[in-house]
Amino acid sequence: MRTFFRNNAVFISLSLILLLVLGLALIYIPQGELHLLLCDRHTPARDIFYRYYTHVAEWFPYVVCVALLLFSRIGDGVFATSAMALSALSTQVLKHIFNALRPVTWFEQFMPEVQLPLVEGVKMNYWLSFPSGHTTSFFALAFVACILLTSKTSGTSRSSRTSISSRTSLTRYSGIWSIIGQVSLFFLAALGGYSRIYLSQHFARDVFGGIIIGIGITLLCYIVLSRYEDKKWYNYRVLGGKKQ
């Protein structure tokens, strides 16, 4: 596990920093004030971007899962599918347990004098706010992609049979691309989480919960399934039936 955390340190560290900042904000800033602070920066361009980008979490993760099951190792597809399915299931269970108010409903009841900056054309939800399912999907998918990315780059550098200087260069090159990939995946996931606040579909607390579930369930799936990485079924490829 030390190697795992070292390989994925950038993504994990950025996620923990985001959780720390959000956690402190949730503790010291009232819920209504924090939501207005985070969502009250609307522009026409941002409205269009977040309106459509938020829907990526509704379909793209499943495209990735199917693609991995068909074109990559079966184990990678099972890992991605398990992480996405279990995180989504956990989120839905918690939503129905808490049955929390969405921002539009909460503000109508507790701050009726406030007019939320809503985006035209976005269908608003009123209940089942905590946690954010879209945020869960964004971070689960990003962490899955990060794990698969870092496992490929680290594996490539270890398996190289070139000279020491060439291997060192390859390791450095792979490390740079690994860092770039992890940072990019984190910000794509963070933008997805923020889109839920921007569109007033969720509070910051809902996004906070979604991040924890998405990363936590993905980590749990990796711990369980990584034990089978040396098995034939894990490395089998559906298309072509090739073993890796």
User: Which domains are assigned to the chain?
Assistant: 2-25+57-235 (1.20.144)
Given this model, what pLDDT does residue 156 score? 46
**pLDDT at position 142:** 98
pTM over the 0.95 mark: no
pLDDT, tens digit, 9 for 90 and up, residues 72-103: 999 999 999 999 999 999 999 999 999 999 99
**What are the C-alpha distances in Å from 94 to residues 26, 90, 97, 99, 213?**
19, 6, 5, 8, 10
Instruction: For the beta carbon of residue 93, count every other beta carbon within 10 angstroms.
Output: 10
Half-sphere CA count of 236, side-chain side, radius 13 A? 8
Within 10 Å of residue 137's Cβ, how many Cβ atoms? 27
| pLDDT in single tens digits along all 244 residues of the chain | 888 999 999 999 999 999 999 999 999 999 999 999 999 889 999 999 999 999 999 999 999 999 999 999 999 999 999 999 999 999 999 999 999 999 999 999 999 999 999 999 999 999 999 999 999 999 999 999 999 998 876 654 444 444 554 455 545 657 888 899 999 999 999 999 999 999 999 999 999 999 999 999 999 999 999 999 999 999 999 885 555 4
Q: Which amino acid is at 69?
A: L
pLDDT at 2: 84
Distance CA(211)–CA(232), nearest Å, equals 33
Q: What is the pLDDT of residue 159?
A: 45
| Tens digits of residue pLDDT in 129-144 | 999 999 999 999 999 9
